[in-house]
A and B are shown apart, each in its own frame.
Chain A
Amino acid sequence: MFFHIYLDRNLQLHPRHFGPHLRDKLIAKLIQDVEGTCSGRHGFVVAVTAVETIGSGLIRDGTGFVTFPVKYQCVVFRPFKGEILESVVTMVNKMGFFAEAGPVQIFVSNHLIPDDMAFQSDDVPNYKTSDGSVRIQKDSEVRLKIVGTRVDATEIFCIGTIKDDFLGLIGDPGGAT
């Protein structure tokens, strides 16, 4: 799920950036530091949308670096249990398959794949139904439901299932959905 939230961060800026474009430099650095990171608390930071306030800088003793307390607005993505996501399959093996939904990795074990789909160890490993109408392989697009999450301080990993109504393959690799 996506959230638009305020966050705080202390940015350290090298003295060489001090000048007329200090603010721009600060924002650029903020975006570079923050976007794409993951915190267990807030999830993945997708984008910084606005910088609210930049406090007065504090010169660090001995280094010359200046610390600015920055308050900013950003979009975060935090997967929850029970959430439905659309994802792209990255790897298929006999234990199940891995998929990615943006920054988050999801594993779907073969228990959570419908019983009528069986693993095929062809040159492109895949899961497919006996009549061949549905076939999940690398780069397939899959709609899945998150049934479990593991949240570390800097990492979020999910377990998904496609064993439910309206879940499963939504697009073949490379094909337009």
Chain B
Amino acid sequence: MSIEPFRRLVKLVARAFYDEEIPAKGPNRSKSDKSDNKGIAVVVLDALTRRQWVKEEDLAKKLRLHPKQLRRTLRVLEEEMLIIREHRKETVKGAKVYNAAVAAVSDGTTGEKEGEEKLKLHTHSYCCLDYAQVYDIVRYRIHRARKKIKDELEDRNAIQEYVCPNAGCGRRYSALDATRLINQLTELFHCENCDAELVEEADKFAVPAPEGDGEDNARRRRREKLRELLEKLDKQLQPLHIQLERVKALVPPDFGTLVQWEKRAISSVRAGGESNEDAAKAAHGQGSTGPPMPYMGETKVDVVMAGAAKNEGKDETAAGPTKVLPPWMIREGMNLNAKQRGEALEGEWNEDNGGTSNADIKPAEEDKEAMQKKLQEEYVRAYYAAILASQQNASQPPKSENNEMSYVEKDVSTEAAAEVSAGVVVKDEGEDDDDVEWEDAPAAEVPIAGSGHDENLEDTEGAPVEGQGDYAGEADEDDIEWE
């Protein structure tokens, strides 16, 4: 957008010229002496670059400034021709128009002010940056500053000025008026208006007075000082110069008067019914006749970037499902296809570790409860699978021994043996049993370490025991011992 260079220009100007405390001009000088308004102008100008027309109350609220303080700053800025202000009496309706316009231009999050503004007629002030004028003013200011120093450097400002010291009069005269000003009695200059004796105006730069080492020397030193000053000025204003150059070819954004702006903002939204930014753009487009090439170029760049961003987004969303979905898909498939329960379980468990984490990150909004259930089931399954795995691992080596020894020493057989048997049984028996067990598990899951667990084990044993009564008997005995 072509507004961006201008924004930058305003920001640079703010920092270059309004960084320090703003000296209040005119009659209200004494009042503002106490207040510390250092840097406020910078803040205000920055804030204004992000807005178009803005109600001063709103601005004060946003900036957390006292309205009076803000107004004082704005008045100074208005005098400096940087901003334009408009005051108007308005009722609620007027405020509504403004609010509507604001909503049209910004993202529509401005607070509704209708409640506060009752039927009374209030005077509201609005302010806006006048970019075109800012550009001119800044150029003029720099030109004047340079000219002043240069003139002094070259002794060109030969024409002395005189000021009437009378506060109420304050007339200024130049040396060219000398014949009219001269008073024949006193042979001094007197004001034509109030007859006060004029004083020379001392607006020269305060170059320290040299200590009498010859006129030439003093003058040379003065000159050096001035040259330094000029160099410094040029150097420090360099960024500003660059920005001014850049802005030169662009059409400054013109928001028009407050009323025009409101109308345009609202109408553009109504007509377009498009996104807010587009509306603002359209408003600008109407304001300026045929945009120059740089404008187009920049817009194009913007569009390209937006497109790139969108593509990235698409890539993400495209990649997302492939990442997220597989665990669920795979698990469903495995439940159906798995032949080897143990292996299937192990695989599933591993998968689940990855899958659950993904599920946590992207919970499906439609059925959270179902998700919860699924998660619980999974957890239980994973838990059992883990137990089984550990049992198998722990018991596999001594299994053969146990088979022989169990006959010999029945009493000695410990919980390990019992678990081994249970594990063996579980593993040896068909998938159907397992499935049954798993489905029961959630209900009985809570007292894991308690009798419920053992009963489960017993049940599983109970079914296949027939041929191996010894095993079962041992298991039972052991269980009792366990507790």
Q: Which residues of A contact B (CB under 8 A)?
A: 91, 93-96, 98, 105, 107, 109, 111-112, 114-116, 125, 147-150, 157, 159, 161, 163
Contacts and interface: CB of A to CB of B under 8 A. Distances in A.
Contact of A98 (B177, B178, B200): B178
Contact of B178 (A114, A149, A157): A157
B365 interface: no
Given A91-B187, A95-B188, A109 B160 contact: yes
Given A95-B200, A116-B215, A159 B187 contact: no
A157 B159 CA distance: 12
Given A105-B179, A107-B179, A159 B158 contact: yes
B187 A93 contact: yes
Nearest to A92: B187
A175 B179 CA distance: 28
A114 B214 CA distance: 11
B176 A157 contact: yes
Given A112-B160, A148-B158, 8 more contacts: A95-B162, A98-B182, A107-B179, A109-B175, A109-B178, A157-B179, A159-B176, A161-B158
A38 to B, nearest CB: 13
B218 interface: yes
A116 B216 CA distance: 10
A148 B178 contact: no
Contact of B175 (A94, A114, A116, A148): A148
A115 B218 contact: yes
B294 to A, nearest CB: 44
A125 B178 CA distance: 18
Interface string B174-196: 01111100100001110000000
Contacts of A150: 176-177
Interface of B: 155, 158-160, 162, 175-179, 182, 187-189, 200, 215, 218-219
A140 to B, nearest CB: 16
Contact of B159 (A91, A114, A116, A147): A147
Chain A contact residues, majority secondary structure:
strand
B189 A95 contact: yes
A150 B175 CA distance: 10
Contacts of B158: 111-112, 147-148, 159, 161
A114 B188 contact: no
Nearest to A105: B179
A115 B215 contact: yes
A116 B219 CA distance: 11
A86 B178 CA distance: 20
Contacts of B160: 96, 109, 111-112
Contacts of B176: 107, 148-150, 157, 159
A14 B329 CA distance: 126
Interface centre among B162, B175, B176, B179 (most CB of A within 10 A): B175
17 contacts: A91-B187, A93-B187, A95-B178, A95-B188, A95-B189, A107-B179, A111-B160, A112-B160, A148-B158, A148-B159, A148-B176, A150-B177, A157-B176, A159-B158, A159-B159, A159-B176, A159-B178
Nearest to A145: B158
Contacts of A112: 158, 160
Nearest to A129: B215
B178 A107 contact: yes
A150 B219 CA distance: 28
Contacts of B182: 91, 98
B175 A107 contact: yes
Pick the 10 closest A-B CB pairs, nearest first: A147-B158, A150-B176, A107-B178, A109-B160, A93-B187, A148-B159, A115-B215, A159-B175, A116-B215, A109-B175
A163 B158 CA distance: 10
Nearest to B214: A116
Contacts of A96: 160, 175
Nearest to A148: B159
A136 to B, nearest CB: 15
A109 B173 CA distance: 13
A94 B188 contact: yes
A147 to B, nearest CB: 4
Contacts of A147: 158-159
B406 to A, nearest CB: 124
A163 B155 contact: yes
Nearest to B218: A115
Interface centre among A91, A115, A125, A149 (most CB of B within 10 A): A115
B3 to A, nearest CB: 45
Contacts of B175: 96, 107, 109, 148, 159
Contacts of B162: 95
A115 B211 CA distance: 12
A149 B155 CA distance: 16
A94 B200 CA distance: 11
Nearest to B180: A157
Nearest to B159: A148
